[in-house]
Every structure is written in C-alpha cells, then in structure tokens.
Amino acid sequence: MGTGSDDTALLTSCPSWARLDALARGFRARGARELFQSAPGRAAAMSCAPFEDLLIDFSKQPVSEEVLDALVALATERGVPAAIEQMFGGEAINVTEGRAALHVALRMPAHASIMLDGQDVIPEVHAVRERMGEFVTRVRSGEEVAADGGAFTDIVNIGIGGSDLGPRMVTEALAPYAEGGPTVHFVSNVDGWDLTSTLANLDPRRTLVVVVSKTFTTQETMTNARTARRWLVDGHAGSEEGLERHLVAVSSARDAAAAFGVSPERTFGIWEWVGGRYSLWSAVGISIALAVGMDHFESLLEGAHEMDSHFRDTPLARNVPALAAMIGIWNANFLGAPTLAILPYDERLRLLPAYLQQADMESNGKSSRLDGARVEGYGTGPVVWGAAGTNGQHAFYQLMHQGTQRVPADFLVAATAEHEHDEHHEILLANALAQSQALMMGRDREAARAVVEGEGGGASLVAHRTFDGNRPSTTMLYERLTPRMMGRILSVYEHKIFVQGRVWGINSFDQWGVELGKSLAKGLLPAVRGGDAPADADESTRHLLGHLRRMRSKG
C-alpha cells in the first residue's frame, strides 16, 4: 500500500471491515468477562511481554482470537507492514508537507543508517547529540558558568506544544535520576502569569534560559523568550555583557537565534523531518538531559529504540503497538467507545495524559483522508484524557464504572517504586488492580442485593449498587520507571498512533488545524489593543471585542 489516494477510500470496503462489523454485533452486549469464562488461560494468551520487565495485558479488552485475527487482517489490508518500512526507510509519508517522519532516527545507534534524499541522517543526528552531551556535561559539572563565573542552579525551558509537553513530562517522570543536577522549570503559556510565577523565586545570575522553537517565530514562545531576556538583563544591572552565557536555543533558524543573542555554540539544530510532538528525542530534550544527565538521556533513547525494533520486526499478531492500535480501532469504530482514558498509577507520570492528548489528538484528529476527500463512514482519533491514580478514582471513575458510555482505559503500573514507602506503593498497586477488575467484572443485581441487605438497606438501593462491568482496559505493567522503560512506553504510544492513522487513511504527521486559530489571533491582536476589528471578524467576536474594551478601560 503506497501513500497515494487510491487506497484511502477503501477502508469500509475492506473484507475484514465487514467481518469485524458482523463480529461487533455479538460483542456490543458482551465483553471480556464472558470471554474469561469460556477460555481458561485467557490472561496469558492475551498478554505480550516484549521484554522481561514489561508486560502488556490485553485480556480485559472485549476481543476474542477471531476478532484479533480480523483486526490483524484489516491492518494488513490497509498496508500497515509496508507503511512501517516506508517510515523507517525515510519515505515522505507526511504527504501534505512532503516530508519524512523520522523521529525513529533520533534514537538509533551510531552504526545504523537511514537514507533521506540520498544522504544518511544518522551521522548528523549523532553529531548534534554529541555537541549537546558535551554542553550538558559542562553545565552539570559547573564547568560551563554564568556571566559572573558562578554555576547555574536553575534552567528555564521556554517552548510550547511538543517543545514543552514532552520534555516537561519526561523530566518530571525521571526526577529520581536527577542526581544533583540543576532544577529545571518549564514555561509554555503566553499568559504572563506562567512566566512571572516561574521566575519569581529564581536568581537571573544563576539561571540558564533554553528557548525551543524550530522557526524561532512561534508567537507564544518568542513573547515569553523576550520577556525572560529582559529579566536576565535587568538581573545583571541592565548590562548585556555575558548575556550569551545565559541563553541556549534549539532551532533550525540559526540566524534568528543569533539575532536574539544566542551564540552558534549554544544553538542546537532540529530537522524538518522531526514533528514537534515527536521531538523530545532530539536536542528539544536538552532540558531532560540537563535535569538527569546525558547518560540517562541516552538510556531513554535506547529504550525507545528497543521498542522501535520490536515494532519493526515483530509480526502484527504479537506486535504491541499494532495490537494496541487495532484494539483501539475495534473499541472506537465498532463498539461505539471513541474515547481513551490514560490512567497511570504512578505519580511521576501524572503529565502523561496531557502529553498523549497532544501526541494522539494532534496526530489523528483529522477529517480529511490522504487524498483530500472527507472521512466518511467511520471516526478517527479518540478523545484522550485521564489523570494519575488514585486521584482519578475520586474524580471521574464514577462515570467510567456506571456512566452511560463505555470508556476504554490504559492502566500503567510500576511493580516497584523509586521511594522507600512500601506501604504507600502496596496500596497504590492494590487500587490499580482493583479498578481494572471492577471495570471488567462489575457487580450484578444479585450480588448488589446481597450487599445492600447485608448493610440493612432497602431494595431501592439495589440498582444504585449494580455495576454493568465489561468496561474495557489494558494494563501495562513494568518493573520500574527507569529512563529505558520511559523510552519504551512512549515509543509504544507513538507507533500505536501511527498505525491507527494508517488504517484510517489520514496523515498523522501534519497539524493544519493548529494554524487557523493562530492566523486569526494575529489578525485580532491589533483590535485587542484598541484598533478596528478585522473585516473577517464575525458578529459574536465583534460583540466580545466591544465588551473586552470596556472592561479593560476600567483597569
């Protein structure tokens, strides 16, 4: 299957699509609970262990061997195996922008090779990584000093989207591995409070500012960067002498970075074939490396590469990202469950739901096929949301257990914690296992009646204590959340998103929907500042501008 238009119109005409549609009729009123009763040994049969310290349990998903066979067949009919090779081979699978999507190259070893336009990209990837590693090591050792000769104690990463969410999430997740490095802070929102509150307790003489913007024109990022630059200058008694020692850039726009005051030695490049939400593996991850050290950053890359190899080399029937993708399509397109809750029972992964919101919803939130025709007859990207357990249990789990819609869920659980409070972790683990069990098993009316009567309640309470069950979930169980494991987990989700996009016939690597609002905002800015409303402003926007001006005039 190529990237041309002929294939993209055929999804609902695929033989396996019709087969799955027929199978779904029998599953909409059923789920995994009944499947366990009819198939002893299901848990082992429906689990994958690509590495000895990582288990992915799909057994609580409403799939049988017959359904899985049909899902794998659908992926094959949609050309997923060929698409995997196209991505790893450097083909321009981002067809709307004419680019490759080579984030996998960022975590390949130096002896690997990926050709792009007749040139091997791996040597340049490692050259940038080596420069980055040398700089990181100097900062963490105190060899790279501030303008006054002192060591840096704080790093402020300024970016937005993929230039913020990935590095922020991984830095927090790997906090136990910081080992005395500088404290890293993140600023993304153009709301001035984000930057103000971050800088409030920092010393500009001890702070290194990292500006992450591929083009060095991103409005939110550059507004924050200019304000942070003024803060640095003010903190040095108004002098710009030595300012370059406090600035780092990650950008392909070297001239713009230099004009901002970043020296070429402190500017680290990023390539057009790296999408923002797939960029933490590049120099965009410099703040991760500054926080935890280059060795741990390398381990993060190695873990991702291990999962990349599994994804590329493993048949679809045992391929973890592919199976996760196809089960997601089964839930969304055939069983009427188009959302996904990300539930890490790991406080260090509390930002993972937000990270995956961007990774998934920006990638597959599309209604145009690769050929430009509109998607019809099926939905695309799920609504992704969630929170860390056990906090979520006291917030939205009520809807998951007894609401009128089924919400598929991913549980992420570390067998061993990186702290000494065993009692806490044991309670956390018990809750994770209990929630996934409760979602699947539920409680029937007979059992609910026994509970109510045992508590001395009336019959009217039975319905309220009944749980339908058969709510689907996957559990990802890993020994520890090491940098290597972090890399594997993120790679699973990246490739899952890619497979789903390929099956749906959409481009997972562009984000044109982000552009419209940005361009309109630029047109509205003069009006917000007191000028005339743009000619294309609608009635509601003009009405809001009028009230906005009156309210601001009172300030």
Could you list the active site residues? 362, 394, 518
Amino acid identity, position 183:
T
The residue whose two tokens read 């420069």 is: 131
Backbone angles phi, psi at 418, to 5 degrees: -100, 35
Q: How is residue 487 written in tokens?
A: 């890399």
Q: How is residue 232 written in tokens?
A: 């640095």
- Please give the helix or strand (H or E) that residue 479 lies within, else none: none
- Do the beta carbons of residue 347 and residue 484 sit within 8 Å? no
Strands 247-250 and 207-212, sheet pairing: parallel
In our burial notation (b when 16+ CB lie closer than 10 A, e otherwise), range 186-198 reads bbbebeeebbeeb
List of E strands, 495-551: none
CA atoms within 13 A on the CB side of 299: 14
- Helix (H) and strand (E) counts for the chain? 21, 13
- Nearest CA to 230 out of 249, 204, 206 is that of 204
- Do the beta carbons of residue 409 and residue 472 sit within 8 Å? yes
Give how far Cα 227 sits from Cα of 96, 393, 479, Å.
Answer: 35, 40, 43
The residue whose two tokens read 């509205």 is: 524
Give how far Cα 544 sits from Cα of 196, 528, 541, 550, Å.
Answer: 27, 10, 5, 10
Counting Cβ atoms within 10 Å, is residue 8 exposed (0-12), middle (13-18) or buried (19+)? buried
> For residues 90 and 114, what is the distance between their CA atoms, to the nearest angstrom?
6
Give how far Cα 91 sits from Cα of 87, 116, 359, 551, Å.
Answer: 6, 7, 21, 53
Strands 54-57 and 247-250, sheet pairing: unpaired
> Which DSSP symbol is given to 54?
E
Contacts (Cβ under 8 Å, ≥6 apart) of 524? 533, 534, 537, 541, 545
DSSP SS3 for 554: coil
DSSP SS3 for 414: strand
Helices (H), 78-151: 80-88, 122-141
Contacts (Cβ under 8 Å, ≥6 apart) of 151? 142, 145, 206
